[in-house]
Amino acid sequence: MSETIASLASEMKGCSACRMRSGCLQVVPPVGQYDRPILLVFGEAPGEAENEQGEPFVGRAGQCIREAFRGTKVINRTNTLIANVMNCRPPGNKFPTDDCPKICVSKWLWKTIELATPQRILLLGGTPLKFVAGMDGITTKRGQWYDIKGIRTMATYHPSYILRCDQDDRMRFKRDEFEGDIREMAGEVAKLQEARP
């Protein structure tokens, strides 16, 4: 049993518990603040850039969310841990419908939450909403607060969805909603940071 996020991340790299590992270059563990992060962020799964670089959210979607975080001047690597529901890149970036996600969630996701002991969780998209919060319907659930294992949690759109919406004039308002959710979370993180000894 791992006792720290660092040891858990190291253990993750050797995982071969499901078929996903044979189809990717490497397991992609969480990055950011390993020691008592205020905020824990969950995405869906690594994409091509993440698979190559071994770090979550470094591709186009990653640039989108990191830009939103930088814009808050609050959410950063000193107070935030970034992870995914699945730690291996699914073939063709198609999230699997077999038992692989459940294996990853039971083996790694819940342990990540337990060891990180975050004060807030941010779920990026419908997949984390389903696997972390047990809910469907990101459009109706985003921007609301939920209690997940005693942790105040919010869901918002996945940044890759925002990038797609940016290409459609009728959908560009989604970015405003997304950025509003990020700002609201940043306000919570700022208060919690100030309260820390």
Residue 196 is predicted with a pLDDT of 86
So what's the pLDDT on residue 99? 95
* Average pLDDT along the chain: 95
Asked if residue 140 has pLDDT above 80, the reply is yes
Whether residue 1 has pLDDT greater than 90? no
- Mean pLDDT for the stretch of residues 53-69: 96
8 has a pLDDT exceeding 90: yes
Q: What is the pLDDT of residue 2?
A: 47
State the Cα angle at 99 between 57 and 108, rounded to 5°: 50
Task: Average the pLDDT over 72-90 and give the result.
Answer: 97
Q: What is the rounded average pLDDT of the residues 43-61?
A: 95
Structurally, how many domains does the chain consist of?
A: 1
Percentage of the chain lying above the pLDDT 70 cut: 99
Would you say residue 141 has pLDDT above 70?
yes
Which range of residues forms the domain containing residue 45?
A: 5-195
> What per-residue confidence (pLDDT) applies to 169?
93
- CATH number of the domain encompassing residue 186: 3.40.470.10
> What average pLDDT score do residues 172-180 get?
96
DSSP-derived 3-state class of residue 144: coil
Residue labelled with tokens 């050797």: 14
Backbone angles phi, psi at 146, to 5 degrees: -135, 155
Q: Which of 103, 3, 121, 6 lies closest to 45 in space, CA to CA? A: 103
Mean pLDDT of 92-113: 95
What is the per-residue pLDDT for 181?
Answer: 98
